[in-house]
Chains A and B, each alone.
Chain A
Amino acid sequence: EDQVTQSPEALRLQEGESSSLNCSYTVSGLRGLFWYRQDPGKGPEFLFTLYSAGEEKEKERLKATLTKKESFLHITAPKPEDSATYLCAVQVGSGGGADGLTFGKGTHLIIQP
């Protein structure tokens, strides 16, 4: 059974205090690993796609990395507006890319000014 585990469940940081969120996965036939940001009551906002081990992607204060067993979302010098729930998701299957995503439970991140 495909599993996606995110840690920590919740993280409170001071503004400017860098940290990392973890997403470990146990799947067969990984097609892609995705990071999303979700604000309360809204739909997930796409951040990154990682397709193969060793791949890295960056966007503003965020950097995502991928190994064969886990992915990290590094946040550098965060600001209060980075507060949100960060979701990791994997896509497997034989649907040629039109397969559903399996999500982890998310990390609830709070950045205090």
Chain B
Amino acid sequence: DTEVTQTPKHLVMGMTNKKSLKCEQHMGHRAMYWYKQKAKKPPELMFVYSYEKLSINESVPSRFSPECPNSSLLNLHLHALQPEDSALYLCASSQGIDRERYEQYFGPGTRLTVT
């Protein structure tokens, strides 16, 4: 099973709202990722968690706040977003540091619209 689940599938929020995106995997993976994908563009890395610790932050604005409560869950907390933040937000996971395989498995994404 190589399934990564994400909720919600769609989210519409105003610029003053606070919302959260959720991601879950049960593959025993120890690395989890957030990517942002704009229309007709490739995914761009936002954050990497390795063994529940934030290891990479690609200079993402503070209105995006990641959280990794345990090895299976990854959240992305959103606050005071701008319309240009509208995109498909993708979660991914991989086995982790110094494992045999490095491929990342992606969830279906959350389509976010900021009004």
Q: Could you tell me which A residues sit within 8 Å of B by CB distance?
A: 31-32, 34, 36, 41-46, 49, 87, 89, 91, 95-106
Number of contacts between A and B (CB, 8 Å)? 78
Least CB distance from B103 to A in Å reads: 5
A41 in contact with B56 (CB, 8 Å): no
Nearest A residue to B31, CB-CB: A98
A101 engages B50 (CB within 8 Å): no
CA distance A41 to B103 in the complex (A): 21
A41 to B90: give the CA distance in the assembly, Å: 11
For this complex, 25 residue pairs linking A to B, each with C-beta atoms less than 8 Å apart, are: A32-B102, A32-B103, A41-B109, A41-B111, A42-B109, A43-B4, A43-B90, A43-B107, A43-B109, A44-B106, A45-B106, A46-B103, A46-B104, A46-B105, A49-B102, A89-B42, A95-B48, A95-B50, A96-B97, A96-B98, A97-B97, A100-B35, A100-B56, A105-B42, A106-B42
Residue of A87, A96, A101 with most chain B CB atoms under a 10 A cut-off: A101
Interface size class of B (residues with CB under 8 A): 35 or more
B residues near A, CB below 8 A? 2, 4, 6, 30-31, 33, 35, 41-45, 48, 50, 55-56, 58, 88, 90, 92, 94-99, 101-109, 111
Q: Which chain A positions have C-beta within 8 A of B103?
A: 32, 34, 46, 49
- Write out the residue numbers on chain A whose beta carbons fall within 8 Å of the beta carbon of B58: 100
Task: Compute how far the CA of A42 lies from the CA of B107 in the bound complex, rounded to whole angstroms.
Answer: 8
Answer whether A95 and B94 are a contact pair too, CB < 8 Å, given A43-B107, A46-B103.
no
Instruction: Determine the chain B residues whose CB is within 8 A of the CB of A49 once the complex forms.
Output: 101-103
CB pair A42 B45 closer than 8 Å: no
